[in-house]
Amino acid sequence: MKQIPILDLRGQHRALRDELMTAIEGVIDAGQYIVGPNVGAFENEFADYLGARHAIGLNSGTDALHLALRALDIGPGDEVITTTFSFIATAEAISIVGATPVFVDIDPWTYQIDPRSVQASITSRTRAIIPVHLYGSPAPMSEITRIAQQHGLAVIEDCAQSVAAELEGRKTGTLGTIAAFSFFPSKNLGACGDAGAIVTDREDLAQRVRALRAHGGRKKYYHEEIGLNSRLDELQAAILRVKLRHLDVWTMARRAIAERYNAGFATVTGIRTPVEEPGCYNVYHQYTIGVGERDVLQAKLREAGISTAVYYPLPLHLQPAYAMLGGKPGDMPFAEEAARSVLSLPISPDISDEDQARVVESVRDLAVTLSAA
């Protein structure tokens, strides 16, 4: 039986092999490996693509979140509000700068951060909100920015899963104060290793991040503050420049796959398909359904040769790493329910029609049997 992986990047790389190899050889032959011409060119191309003023290449999405907070001078004593239903990196960045993450629940239909819970969690110590555009769909940014403006808070968009996603025709990453992108290989725009970027329209924040990523100095061997080494590699930048040119085609392919899934599951009770809110251009980093008996369904799909994934099985307020904040089961009921019921299906942009049909059929048949049992 042929295995259907949740994501297989080898197909994408095979198709781009000549372009990628030319780019890689170019870097090796040029002999400049750290912040060379490809990093600068990628930063310009990426900023132009998004419609933003500045992009700064970094070595991961986690560092992008961390340096966004540093650039905003957020640290000990400050609180930063974010969703409990995200990858740990979102919260980790807040902790790394010495601030306190304040977790809030999600909207049960969209899985995105709930603006009313954000509003209710603001204190005199709150400095910023980090909305996460989860699964590639924009968070409710108009409500979030309204709340932020009322209270004088910064908005840091976590765009790790949402490159190319749009809200009312504007790309995510241009909707807040500053944005963090990840180019981890499995993201919609992925390097062949770790990589990330910060995007902002604010000149002061861009300059600060440029200094922080290279040991806190603007001039070599002169350091205004303690920074770190978080530069984007020249090789990764060269690879990302090649892939950026294909991103729109891959995004359209993902959306077409999502439409076929939606059509395939439309008549099946017991499967909740993703909600597309008005004005949202979802790039389907994940195609995530909601089902009862999720773990049984996942195990049976595995037996049928279909790999799926759970993003995420444990909300952040219940993670052992955050036990010191005192989160308890029942605190965030919608996120806890999502953690029990979400299942992400294979969505490589180059999955064959035949393989996708097999996924649809298996999920449909199993879901029907399980909900009848």
Ligand X SMILES: *Cc1c(COP(=O)(O)O)cnc(C)c1O
Q: How far apart are CA 18 and CA 113, in angstroms?
A: 41
- 86 vs 200, which CB is nearer to ligand X? 86
- 79 vs 158, which CB is nearer to ligand X? 158
- 193 vs 216, which CB is nearer to ligand X? 193
Name residue 13's amino acid. Answer: H
- Helix ranges, the chain (H): 9-15, 17-30, 37-50, 61-71, 88-96, 115-120, 141-151, 203-212, 234-244, 247-265, 294-303, 333-341, 353-372
Nearest distance in Å: CB 149, ligand X: 24
Residue 206 contacts residue 53 (beta carbons within 8 Å): yes
Q: How far apart are CA 169 and CA 160, in angstroms?
A: 19
| Length of the chain, in residues | 373
Nearest distance in Å: CB 366, ligand X: 27
Nearest distance in Å: CB 266, ligand X: 28
- 38 vs 86, which CB is nearer to ligand X? 86
- 105 vs 158, which CB is nearer to ligand X? 158
Nearest distance in Å: CB 87, ligand X: 4
Nearest distance in Å: CB 99, ligand X: 16
User: What are the residues binding ligand X (CB under 6 A)?
Assistant: 60-62, 86-87, 89-90, 132, 158, 160-161, 182, 184, 194, 196
- 88 vs 296, which CB is nearer to ligand X? 88
Nearest distance in Å: CB 154, ligand X: 17
Residue 297 contacts residue 343 (beta carbons within 8 Å): yes
Q: Which residue, 73, 92, 72, is CA-closest to 82?
A: 92
Nearest distance in Å: CB 92, ligand X: 9
Strands, sheet with 54-58, edge to edge from the N-terminal-most edge strand: 54-58, 196-200, 178-182, 154-158, 126-130, 79-83, 100-104
DSSP 304-368: TTB--B-S-SS-GGGSGGGGGGT--TTSSHHHHHHHHHEEEEP--TT--HHHHHHHHHHHHHHHH
- 161 vs 341, which CB is nearer to ligand X? 161
- What 3-state class would DSSP assign to 34? strand
Find the residue with minimal CB distance to ligand X: 61
Nearest distance in Å: CB 369, ligand X: 32
- 86 vs 356, which CB is nearer to ligand X? 86
Q: Which residue, 274, 28, 262, is CA-closest to 165?
A: 274
